[in-house]
Amino acid sequence: MLKVQPHPDYPPEEGRYLRGNDFSPVAVAIVLNTEAENIPPWIVQLVKAGVESGAAISGTVQTANIGIEKIICNIVANTNIRYLILGGPESDGHHTGDAIKAFMKNGVDTKKRIVGTDALSPTLYNVPKEYIDRFRSQVTLVDCQFPGRAGAERSGQVLHPGKPGGIPGAGALGSGCIPGTTVQRQAHLERHAAVGGTRGRWRAGRKTKSA
């Protein structure tokens, strides 16, 4: 399968994530439903399970706007990524998981508001429409959200190609990349001034080394 080496500045956006195997076709997003300073250990373990199982990048997402924007930028910057596993509980306030699912199904309207969600402020102001379209064509969503801790095992199992429900090649070098375009190069280099957020204490270098 054709794989490409990401740009040296990949991933372009900061966040609470760990970087794993750049050539993996899988990214993992765990919905965070607590304040950043109160992240429960089991959520941290789900994020770690992502990279330990072979994902390219694994982290938390808290909001239905800036959080999703950062995911878009980091994934279109790596054309090897073809699946996004969504895990963790729903956020009662932000409804972030619902926003991601609606985004993948329905896209956005002319004002870049995600169609078909009741999430809080689900508008992707800071990313070009080209990024949005590229993300939705590049990635298949794998919905592994669950109502509580009891479903955590499902999120972990789907990363293992040898287990029921697993994604073929998720732990190795499965699906090939999408051929690089201007979108890929721009995503490495552009910084959207309006996209703020916490500098990720989890952001890490290759493999599972944590910062």
pLDDT tens profile 25-57 = 999 999 998 887 889 998 999 999 999 999 999
Q: What is the pLDDT of residue 176?
A: 62
Which pLDDT score, from 0 to 100, does residue 178 have? 62
Q: Which pLDDT score is estimated for 168?
A: 45
The pLDDT value given to residue 91: 87
CB 175 within 8 A of CB 56: no
Question: Which of helix, strand or coil describes residue 203?
Answer: coil
**The pair of three-digit structure tokens given for residue 175, joined into one six-digit string:** 């699906």
Distance, in Å, from the CA atom of 106 to the CA atom of 102, rounded to the nearest integer, reads 6
Q: What is the mean pLDDT of the chain?
A: 79
Residue identified by tokens 């373990």 is 45
Question: Per residue in 170-206, pLDDT tens?
Answer: 444 345 666 655 454 454 444 333 333 333 344 544 4
pTM: 0.78
What does the pLDDT look like over 91-122, one tens digit per residue?
888 999 999 999 999 999 999 999 999 999 99
Name the token pair of 163: 């287990």
Which segments of the chain are extended strands (E)?
A: 17-19, 26-31, 57-61, 83-87, 140-143
Give phi and psi for 28, each to the nearest 5: -125, 130
pLDDT at 159: 54
Taken in order 99, 104, 106, 108, the sign of the CA dihedral is positive
Every domain of the chain and the residues it spans: 17-189
Residue-level pLDDT at 21: 95
Question: What amino acid is encoded at 143 in this protein?
Answer: D
Burial of 133 (0-12, 13-18, 19+ CB in 10 A): middle
Summarised one tens digit per residue, pLDDT across range 55-96 is 999 999 999 999 999 999 999 999 999 999 999 989 888 999
Q: Tell me: pLDDT of 129 over 70.
A: yes
Tokens encoding 181: 């375009």
**Residue whose token pair is 């390219």:** 56
Angle in degrees, 0-180, between the axes of helices 182-189 and 129-138, rounded to the nearest 10: 110
Q: Write the DSSP string, 61-91.
A: E--SSHHHHHHHHHHHT-TT--EEEEES---
Residue 56 vs residues 31, 33, 104: alpha-carbon distances, Å: 17, 23, 20
Give yes or no for a contact between 57 and 200, defined as CB atoms under 8 angstroms apart. Answer: no
What is the per-residue pLDDT for 85?
A: 94
Q: What band does 3 get if pLDDT is binned at 50, 70 and 90?
A: confident
